[in-house]
Amino acid sequence: MAHGISVIALLLMLGASTIARAQEPELPVSEVAPGIFVHIGVTALMTRENEGAIANVGFIVGDSAVAVIDTGGSVREGRQLLAAVRKHTDKPIRYVINTHAHPDHSFGNAAFVDPGASFVGHKNLPRALTMRGQFYLDGFRRTMGDALIDEVRLVSPTVLVEDTLKLDLGGRSLTLKAWPPAHSDNDLTVFDERTKTLFAGDLVFLTHIPVVDGSLKGWLDALDELAAIPAERVVPGHGAVSKWPAALADERRYLNALAADVRALIASGKPITVAAETAAASERSRWQLFDDYNARNATAAFSEMEWE
Amino acid sequence: MLRHRIRLLCFASLASVALAASVAPAAAADAYDPWPGLVQDIFNNRPMNDGSDVIGIEMPARAEDAAIVPVTLRTKLSPGDNRRIKTITLVIDQNPAPMAAKFTLGPDANVTEISTRVRVNNYTDVHAVAELSDGKLYVTKVYVKASGGCSAPAVKDAEEAKNRLGQMRYRQFARPEQGPASNIREAQIMIGHPNNSGLQMDQVTHLYIPAFFINEVQLWQDDSPVLAMEGGISISEDPNIRFTYVSNGAKHFRAEAKDTDGHVFQHEWNADASGT
Ligand SMILES: [Zn+2]
């Protein structure tokens, strides 16, 4: 018995985190195209119970290296994603790409900090993390609890994308594109030339109501350019992997309805509170989490469109 | 078997550490009521009277967007009441800078309704304190839940916010009760400004990004003051004030805003038109 305890103590001294890391189960991923692995997040708000695992995350395996695209909503999810990478390949993770600053996509970053890995993001991502990071940590502590949030570290990218950037994973070229403000003001997409797969981040939502946290007008403007990307399939930020560009249709309809309703309310002199209650009501039955986000989208859209 | 026990112990020890580190501050935050301290700091401990018959606050029960939470202040004094509201101070208790705005109502403008938009960082009481012409303070409050999801009390499109700096818009609205003979007006002033809080630390330099916000707005019809606002960082980006007043027949509506960098933004419009 005494012997057993000392072994336990020794292992604890070696570091609880090492043990926790080794024991972390793999995040379930599916190979949606050769070398492209995706975990589909649950359509929900981030909670203690779902460990923040609500966004789609994934990785791309090249001939010599791996790129991880988004790290999930907690370090625990990040470690599970890391375990999934290690199950499928022993190639090094050279790039950790954040599609934007939102916590469901970036709270897992700390799991991937490693001298061999570069963090990659939109040129505005560091600013967004600075302006919002502490608020996110405080806010999600309330809904996810201390155990998950205590270990979250805001990891800023060191490789910044101004316009477009090509990354080479060894015989596999990824094209990264930094977008003008749309879903957020730091949206980045990743296009895999080999399989014609687009990781769209939150520029594309399916099932989960789109969330406007950048510019509704900018997002509407971006849709045509997005649709022109010669992809065969899209990994959206939320929702199922889908055919491209057909996957854009629902989101386009919602954003257009929201913009039209908000513009009409502004023109008729209605206050912003009426927009929160009524705009895009026709879309209510078509989306999950509508009541969690639509009023907010309408509020943001109203304050943007007022300046037209 | 041994492996299994190690795992349990690890979980137990991690959990207890996390619990010890966290329970105290979280519980304290819930129990701590900043209001008495705010009464001292903002109102010099003057007595607070029940203001439920004097002033109303309308806010959504939950902040949908942490950066843009609509708030409407509505006076409730009956027409026969010979007291007048001189100022209304809006306080968001749990915000980093709780005093959101102090409105001074023009003595002859008969402002009865003021709407603006504020940032809400946390679950919080929001107080409105009216100072009446009887020299007394009257308080009322609502409770607002913080927003969920990824909204933050920060600028959404930082470049656009810079581009709009100093732009002003004025708009007149038709009021339902506004017949041809009525002189009740409803108007709105918008001021393009990022209203940076100065509370965020740059992660690279570890310096605080300097505060940069509108701290003073004054509105007149011709030379008669309608409404003034002393603002703080709890006012949303692109400060927006919508309000009612009684027209004195003035031809012009005039606005002046100042920010913490010493910019002065001025504009004048035809009182009955809308424009930029
Ligand atoms: Zn997002």
Q: Tell me the per-residue pLDDT of B37-46, one tens digit each, with 9 for 90 and over.
A: 999 999 999 9
Query: Is the alpha carbon torsion for B19, B25, B29, B30 positive or negative?
Result: positive
Q: State which H helix or E strand residue B8 sits in.
A: helix B2-31
Bridge partner list, B258: B216, B264
The alpha-helical segments, DSSP class H, found in A59-179 are 75-88, 103-106, 125-144, 146-149
Domain that holds residue A81: 26-249
Pairing of strands B69-75, B55-58: antiparallel
Which of A8-17, B7-16, B92-101 is most confident?
B92-101
The beta-carbon neighbor of A292 closest among B18, B149, B209 is B149
The verdict on residue A161 lying in a domain is yes
Q: Measure in Å the smallest separation between the Cα of B46 and chain A Cα atoms.
A: 33
The verdict on residue A37 lying in a domain is yes
The verdict on residue A288 lying in a domain is no
B112 interfacial to chain A (CB closer than 8 Å): no
Read off the DSSP letter of residue A121: E
The verdict on residue A302 lying in a domain is no
pLDDT in tens, chain A (308 residues): 344 444 444 444 444 444 445 568 999 999 999 999 999 999 999 999 999 999 999 999 999 999 999 999 999 999 999 999 999 999 999 999 999 999 999 999 999 999 999 999 999 999 899 889 988 999 999 899 999 999 999 999 999 999 999 999 999 999 999 999 999 999 999 999 999 999 999 999 999 999 999 999 999 999 999 999 999 999 999 999 999 999 999 999 999 999 999 999 999 999 999 999 999 999 999 999 999 999 999 999 999 999 99
CATH number of the domain within which A179 lies:
3.60.15.10
The beta-carbon neighbor of A296 closest among B117, B147, B164 is B147
d(CA A188, CA A184): 10
Bridge partner list, B188: B171, B242
The verdict on residue A230 lying in a domain is yes
Residues of B in contact with A12 (CB under 8 A): 9-10, 13
The verdict on residue B7 lying in a domain is no
d(CA A286, CA A240): 15
Bridge partner list, B254: B220, B268
B74 interfacial to chain A (CB closer than 8 Å): no
The verdict on residue A222 lying in a domain is yes
User: Count of A–B CB contacts within 8 Å?
Assistant: 150
- Using the mean position of ligand 1's atoms as its centre, give its distance from the Cα of residue A100 in Å: 7
- Using the mean position of ligand 1's atoms as its centre, give its distance from the Cα of residue B165 in Å: 27
Residue B111: both structure tokens together: 């402002």
d(CA A106, CA A128): 12
**Phi, psi (rounded to 5 degrees) for A23:** -90, -10
- Using the mean position of ligand 1's atoms as its centre, give its distance from the Cα of residue B114 in Å: 33
Q: State which H helix or E strand residue A237 sits in.
A: strand A233-238
Among A residues 52-91, those touching chain B with beta carbons less than 8 Å apart: none
d(CA A234, CA A117): 25
CATH number of the domain within which B230 lies:
2.60.40.2470
The answer to whether A240 and A259 have CB atoms below 8 angstroms apart is no
- Using the mean position of ligand 1's atoms as its centre, give its distance from the Cα of residue A28 in Å: 21
The verdict on residue B11 lying in a domain is no
Number of domains in chain B: 1
**Phi, psi (rounded to 5 degrees) for A257:** -65, -45
Residues of B in contact with A19 (CB under 8 A): 6-7, 10
Domain that holds residue B216: 27-270
- Count of other CB atoms within 10 angstroms of residue A131: 23
How far is CA B257 from each of CA A285, B186, B246, B261, rounded to the nearest angstrom? 44, 20, 22, 12
Close Cβ partners of B67 (under 8 Å, ≥ 6 residues apart): A300, B119, B151, B152, B153, B154, B155, B156, B236, B237
The verdict on residue A43 lying in a domain is yes
The pLDDT assigned to B159 comes to: 83
Read off the DSSP letter of residue A111: G
The verdict on residue B12 lying in a domain is no
With a cut of 60, say whether residue B173 has pLDDT above it: yes
The pLDDT assigned to B21 comes to: 34
Residues of A in contact with B160 (CB under 8 A): 181, 215
Query: Is the alpha carbon torsion for A210, B145, B132, B84 positive or negative?
Result: positive
The verdict on residue B214 lying in a domain is yes
The verdict on residue A287 lying in a domain is no
Number of domains in chain A: 1
Largest Cα–Cα separation, chain A = 79
d(CA A6, CA A12): 10
Contact call for B157 and A131, based on CB within 8 A = no
Give B74-103 as a 3 state SS string.
Answer: EECCCCCCCCCEEEEEEEECCCCCCEEEEE
B276 interfacial to chain A (CB closer than 8 Å): no
The answer to whether A207 and A240 have CB atoms below 8 angstroms apart is yes
**Phi, psi (rounded to 5 degrees) for A136:** -60, -45
- Using the mean position of ligand 1's atoms as its centre, give its distance from the Cα of residue B64 in Å: 16
The verdict on residue B2 lying in a domain is no
- Using the mean position of ligand 1's atoms as its centre, give its distance from the Cα of residue A255 in Å: 15
Read off the DSSP letter of residue A208: B
